[in-house]
Amino acid sequence: MKSMYSIAILAVLSTAAYGQVVKRNGDKVVIKNSVSPSSIGHKVIFKDQDGLNQGYGTIQRVKNNLALVKLEQGMSSNNYRIISSTNNVSAEIENKNSQDKIKFSLNAAFSISNIQEISEGNETLKRKNMKADDEDGYNITDIYDHKSIDILGEIQIPLTQSFSTSSFAGLSISPSDTVVEGDGYKMKKSYLEPKVLQKVSYNIENNGILFSPYVIGGVGLYNKKLEFIGDSTTVDMTLQGINLQGGAGLNVKLNNLVEIFGEYRLSQVSKLKVKSDDTSIEENDLDNAKINYSNLSIGLKYNF
């Protein structure tokens, strides 16, 4: 990966401009400013609202106060500086917020995971049929659905000007939740899933805002604990498995520090194992059983 290019300039020849970006298409940016044919070949430095460099390009064509700029690094913004490119170089501008460097982030999201079906061999039970046999019993959805907080560290690496990839490591955690059965029996459930994920994003800028649709996939260690509490007995069970997941989402950059995102994933839990402290419940491997989930997440990303 190449480091951020440095632009050598003659400082006295640089002029600030707060103009208008009238069109963006990939690495082609059209700006409206007091430019002339003599501006062809000059550099344009794009800055964010804090005055930090976001990217740069070169003026290729000029017509009627419109300049076509080929974006060479980073992204464009309405705050830019036109720089006369000369051979008398004496200063260097460093882009402190370039997309050309590795970024570290912390993601926090709220997720809702709903079971869609359970299958074992040739038999499949759909969500719409997961109702209890009587009004006082638990639905299967009561056992398997959960809400969680996802905490993930992220390393983002640029691939090209438009594409980047991110690696995640962290966990999903669901505090203990109590479901009360009609006869007064209780079921407590909690959830923990360490996971690693990989994401590929396509970065699109519109009116100075960076939108990044992405696809994501990974694997987690599914671990759901259930506690059934009766009048005189308590039974603990743990359901464990491998959770393969994949989906898509949209990330929106609000500023240099904070981004928001929404994400939808489908996941399948396999290689299931049941463990219990009740000797009447057989602990076994459910090699042929699979649990399918849908997952919806919304969250915040903080960039370091």
Q: What is the mean pLDDT of the chain?
A: 80
Task: Count up the domains in the chain and report the number.
Answer: 2
pLDDT in tens, 140-173: 888 899 999 999 999 999 888 789 999 999 999 9
Residue type, 197: L
User: What would you report as the CA-atom Rg of the chain, rounded to the nearest whole angstrom?
Assistant: 27
Same domain, 84 and 109: no
Query: According to DSSP H, which parts of the chain are helical?
Result: 140-144
Would you say 287 and 252 are in contact if contact means Cβ atoms under 8 Å apart?
no
Domain that holds residue 20: 7-93
- The predicted model scores a pTM of 0.68
Same domain, 287 and 227: yes
Give the pLDDT confidence of 106-120 residue by residue, as tens digits: 999 999 999 999 998
3-state secondary structure of 13: helix
Most confident of 69-78, 159-168, 246-255: 246-255
Q: pLDDT tens-digit profile of 216-231?
A: 999 999 999 988 887 7
C-alpha distances out from residue 292 to 120, 149, 160, 265, 282, Å: 12, 20, 35, 11, 23
Residue 101 has pLDDT above 80, yes or no: no
244's tokens: 């393969």
The answer to whether residues 142 and 76 belong to one domain is no
Q: Tell me: do 126 and 271 sit in the same domain.
A: yes
pLDDT tens digits along 5-53: 343 332 333 444 456 777 777 788 888 776 778 778 888 888 776 667 7
Q: What angle do CA 267, 201, 29 make, to 5 degrees?
A: 155
Q: What is the domain-level CATH number for residue 254?
A: 2.40.160.20
Same domain, 50 and 195: no
67, 93, 119 - which closes a domain: 93
The verdict on 47 and 196 lying in the same domain is no
Residues 149 and 191 in one domain: yes
Distance of alpha carbon 206 from alpha carbon 219, whole angstroms: 33
208 and 181 in one domain? yes
